[in-house]
Amino acid sequence: MQDPREQAGAAPRTCAAWSETLSEPLAGTAAVAASWLCLEQPGPWGGDALVRSHLDPDIGARLAERAADTGVRVQLIRKPGRHPDTGVDAPRTVYFAHTRPGASWLRRTELTDPAELLDLDFRAFARGEHCGWGVPTTEPVLLVCTNGRRDQCCALRGISLLREMGPRHEGKLWETTHTGGHRFAPTGVVLPSGYNYGRLTPHGVDAVLSAATAGKMTTTHCRGRSAFSQRAQVAELALRENLGEHAGEALTVASEADEEVVLRHRDGRRWSIRLREITLSPPRPNSCGKSPAQAGTWTAERIRLLPDPE
């Protein structure tokens, strides 16, 4: 997926090439959102796609306003390939997903008028209540960011990946607007679990969808689960690697403090993960066209099995 201009030892020219060259850690970089609302919108997308696309900008602005501070993330999606705008009356696919471990679900519906979504109770949706919207679907979906107006890496790498993999996973792969972390392109989020991935490869797409279909997850190229804070994402992935645990719903956050996250397994075991915040050097651009900036992350220093509570 590398831009040919960045090969043959040339200096990195894009944010994704910088991140890759510096081996920037992926863990703890996923978008934080308990629930995801994904609306099909054909045609072009601007940088702020909800108000800069062929979606009525008033509806887009109102959806963003309703979702703000609720824990719901609103995405535009479209089928891979060419993107003709099929008109305002064409049916649109909508996905509703809740990502909390042990309570995750994915529902799907079709509608012709996106304004209907303004009736959704966003706070209830964030808590995991679907309120009767959509019908359950057991097939996971993988949303790959291709929002080139937000960052060129998403277009260069995301579209190339989908061009190759779209026919193999028809109906399970969608293009989507910005999910955060262009420098990790190609990026994707699998629903309903909410696990985010970066630097996706064709093999990675196969592995992510195969695992999700079986109720599992893969830690390879994983950025974290969106239901968790970013430091808890680091803790969970570190514990999964330590245990070799891949069951999708196995772990949840019991508590977290500044430098400690306690994770609970569904079998009752609990672990304390001690974290340390570190600064990454040298500075690197977090988006194409931006000046290099200082970056940081968390690392797991200690994993300790806790005694059974009395």
Q: Can you give the residue ranges of every domain in the chain?
A: 35-214, 229-306
pLDDT at 61 (0 to 100): 97
The tens place of each residue's pLDDT in the chain, 310 residues long, gives 444 334 444 557 899 988 999 999 999 999 999 999 999 999 999 889 999 999 999 999 999 999 998 999 999 999 997 666 655 578 999 999 999 999 999 999 999 999 999 999 999 999 999 999 999 999 999 999 998 777 788 888 999 999 999 999 999 999 999 998 889 989 999 999 999 999 999 999 999 999 999 999 999 999 999 999 999 999 999 999 999 999 999 999 999 998 999 999 999 999 999 999 999 999 888 888 888 888 899 999 999 999 987 6
pLDDT at 236 (0 to 100): 98
Q: Which two tokens stand for residue 199?
A: 């630097």
pLDDT at 4 (0 to 100): 38
Cα atoms found within 13 Å of the Cα of residue 30, Cβ hemisphere only: 32
Task: Please name the residues in contact with 216: beta carbons below 8 A apart, sequence gap of 6 or more.
Answer: 246, 247, 248
**Strand spans (E) along 150-250:** 173-176, 188-191, 195-197, 222-225
pLDDT at 84 (0 to 100): 61
Judge if the upstream peptide bond of residue 282 is cis by omega within 30 degrees of 0. yes
Measured CA to CA, the distance from residue 66 to residue 11 in angstroms comes to: 43
Measured CA to CA, the distance from residue 50 to residue 61 in angstroms comes to: 7
Per-position b or e across 75-96, b if 16+ CB within 10 A of its CB: bbbbbbeebeeeeeeeebbbbb
pLDDT at 212 (0 to 100): 98
pLDDT at 8 (0 to 100): 43
Cβ distance 158 to 175 under 8 Å? yes
The reply to whether the predicted model has a pTM over 0.85 is: yes
